[in-house]
Structure 1
Amino acid sequence: MRILTILHDLSAGGSERVALQLAAEWRNLGLQSELLLVSSNGKAEVPPELPVRRLPRDVPRSLTSRFCVAASLRAAVREAAPDIVFLPGNWHFALARGIARVRPRPVIVAKLSNPPLPSLVPGTGPLAVRALRALLKPVDVLAFWPEALGPDLARLLPDLRLEPIPNPPIRVEKRPRRPRPASRRRHLLIAGRLVPQKNVALALEAFAIALGNRDLDLTIAGDGPDRPALENRIARLGLGGRVTMLGHVANLGPALDAADLLLLSSRYEGTPAVVFEALAAGVPVVSTACAPILPHLLDRPGRGRVVSEDTPSALAQAILAQLAEPDEVGDVRDLLAPHAPDAVARRYVDLFTALLAAPGRRAAE
């Protein structure tokens, strides 16, 4: 079985991390798994065992870049001759139409990485639904998680096969945390790309309010186009001595070991890997209601809180309430087990095998 995973670039976001990990796992399972890059931009590291193909011309990510590479992308897919093309997130849905024109046609499996219709532009509901259905029409299967999204997705995409597969694949082990004096300064952590979706400005405003009631520090692990604006906001809020910006961090472990709380202020998320990593490290989470899986993960006060109101004051109140709780994240092995990389990779392989064996499959068109 030949699997070709397409990534627009190596941005160190969740979709990219998941795609690279899955592609490497498929390789480790003995399959012919390769990566096709539209652009080499970004800091995510490609696993050394994973072969990489590139388009003849590097096309950096932009609002139109996905539509500008159709011809060269078709040629690259035709040359790779995959049985399966894997599109690892919403950003890549626009590539499906061009790939479907390749002959022989590969099976196209896409993965939902964020809510299919984040409410970012008021009044565009019906138009957005039609656009989403058009983008996904060439796709054979859409993988999604959590499973509870199934009924809503079925109503939204009635003609598309849907497959619940745990996301993200994550290899972390629960490790005990050392006891910490209650009187010491408490440390908050934000981890993610500095882009509008993550809404770090909201987190900074909330931190400034919480700082008036507790002795706190904040570390931001991540980089992106919003960094200059966030640095200016930190200065305006007078937080220069309390906020540390680490930039891109390849290994989040040391930052989690130093943290008392992970703060997630996103406008929307799919299944945020960083929450799993925090819980595995014994770090509770305070988050906006940005992902449907969060109430399942933060199911008791010791693990964290989901804030329904996206305001600095509500987020600050949740931060202070969580810091008043004892460190009781507890045993999260049952939460993590379905997300083990080998287990998730095999779920996809089972799906790929069934699709390729199906009589009259669309790939034979």
Structure 2
Amino acid sequence: MGKIAILLPDLRPGGAERLHVNLARAWIARGFEVEFVLRQRRGELLGELPRGATVVSLEASRVRGSVLPLSRYLRSTPPQALLAAMWPLTAVAALAARLAGFEGRVLGSEHSPLSLAYADRGRLHRWILSTSQRWAYPRLDAAIGVSAGVADDLARMSGLPRDLFKVIHNPAALGMAGVRTDVPLELASVPRPVFLTVGTLKRVKRQDILIDAFGRLAAHGRGTLCILGDGPERDALAAKVQALDLGDAVLMPGFVADPGPWYAAADVFVLSSEYEGFGNVIVEAMEHGLPIVSTDCVAGPAEILEGGKYGTLVPVGDAQALSEAMRDALPAPLAKAALQARAREFGLDVVAERYLDLLIPGWRSGAVA
């Protein structure tokens, strides 16, 4: 039915990378070929690609070095459509497609509010970012934000009309809840309740504030905190755990390929981020019926939780409010069925087909746009 190329920096574990692996799986199941075009061929998720997916490496050590290799790829083995994820690759895709004379469709998707993601880079970087956005987005067949908050931010930064940007939420509900019921050994005999967070250990996720919030609970014997993931903040977070004398009450098992059993074994899910593009992990937790506590950050959590209907939202950076919400999450949790029904609205099949409608119009009828 045609080939779809997915342009990414690499396949190191991250929310955007993992969701494209899942989209590829759904598209291959529908008869499409999928090829990952990577700036560099590396990352743990290479081992999780679905059967039939292929990989091309541009062998570009810097982003600007990927323009010509991508242009050559689009000329020599053109896909029917190209989906580029995350600036500056969205701008690179628009430029390379023009240089190649590529006649297929080109989509760009942004997965975070770029004004916040690059807030500390200075005026020159901001000018480069906004200028490249103004040039690139109108030249794409579709510019996509993974939440309304991200789309709003793109319009503000670029100065382009808001209606240029489409919103397609991430395919975070994968139908995996209940598939595996084995309890991770690390959680088999720990004090309850278990508060779980999942994500890369980096500054924006603010796991340091989560540790502070949990510390207030731990002083009263309030269970176990499990921080699932790895990243550059690991040593600093481990030092904070020791400084607060939390000892075995905080677990940091590192990255796991399948977090499903950890969701299944937890009692409450907590997200403490300064900002998100969407918040895949919230949907994953809801799919397992977990009560949710999240910062009311830009851009996804409030959209997913419908302003607090499906979970508790607290101010960003407020450890006391986060602690109180964690304490109150268990006595009267929302019905598991309601959480799971909400999660299904972000199902893989629904989202995969929304992308296909933009990538290959007419695919439903078998026609080629």
Counterpart for residue 120 of structure 2: 121
Which has the larger share of helix? 2
What pairs up with 1:125-204 in 2 under 5 angstroms?
Answer: 127=127, 129-147=130-148, 156-158=159-161, 161-172=164-175, 185-204=192-211
* Counterpart contact for 2:8–2:85, Cα < 8 Å: yes
> Using the alignment, how far apart are the partners of 1:191 and 1:208 within structure 2?
18
Structure 1 residues 302 and 104: alpha-carbon distance in aligned structure 2, compared to 1, 3 A threshold:
closer
Are residues 219 and 91 of structure 1, via their aligned partners in 2, closer, same or farther at CA, if it must alter by over 3 Å? farther
- Name the count of aligned residue pairs: 345
Three-state SS of the structure 2 residue aligned to 1:170 is coil
Does residue 1:278 correspond to 2:285, yes or no?
yes
Identity of aligned residues (%): 28
1:335-356: CA deviations, max 9, x gaps?
2333222222222222223399
One-letter code aligned to 1:259: A
**Partner-residue secondary structure (3-state), 2:107:** strand
After superposition, give the CA deviation of every residue in 1:293-320 in whole Å (9 maximum; x if it has no partner): 4234435979431112422222212212
Which of 40, 49, 56 aligns to 2:52? It is 49
Partner SS, residue 166 of structure 2: strand
Contact residue 175 and residue 280 of structure 1 kept, 8 A: no
Can you give the 5+ residue segments of structure 1 that lack an aligned partner in the other structure? 60-64, 178-183, 357-362
Match of 2:105 in 1: 107
Determine helix, strand or coil for the equivalent of 1:202: helix
Query: Which residue in the other structure is 1:290 paired with?
Result: 297
Partner of residue 37, structure 1: 38
SS in 2 for 1:85: strand
Say yes or no: does 1:85 pair with 2:86: no
Q: Are the counterparts in 1 of residues 152 and 162 from structure 2 also a CA contact under 8 Å?
A: no
Taking a change above 3 Å as real, the CA distance of residues 104 and 29 of structure 1, as seen in their structure-2 partners, is: same
Cα 1:150/1:168, change in 2 over 3 Å: same
Structure 2 contact 218–246 (Cα < 8 Å) conserved: no
SS of the residue 1:5 aligns to: strand
| Aligned position for 1:253 | 260
Which aligned runs of 4 or more in structure 1 are off by greater than 6 angstroms?
none
**SS in structure 2 at match of 1:241:** helix
Checking the alignment, whether the CA contact within 8 Å between 2:144 and 2:151 is kept in structure 1 is no
Distance 1:206 1:234 in 2: 12
TM-score, normalised by the number of residues in structure 1: 0.82
TM-score, normalised via structure 2 length:
0.82
1:180 is matched with which residue? none
Q: Is the 8 A contact 2:178 2:264 kept in 1?
A: no
Distance 1:99 1:204, change over 3 A: farther
Q: 1:276 deviation in Å?
A: 0.9
2:218–2:249: 8 Å Cα contact kept in structure 1? Answer: no
Query: In 2, Cα distance between the equivalents of 1:17 and 1:164?
Result: 19
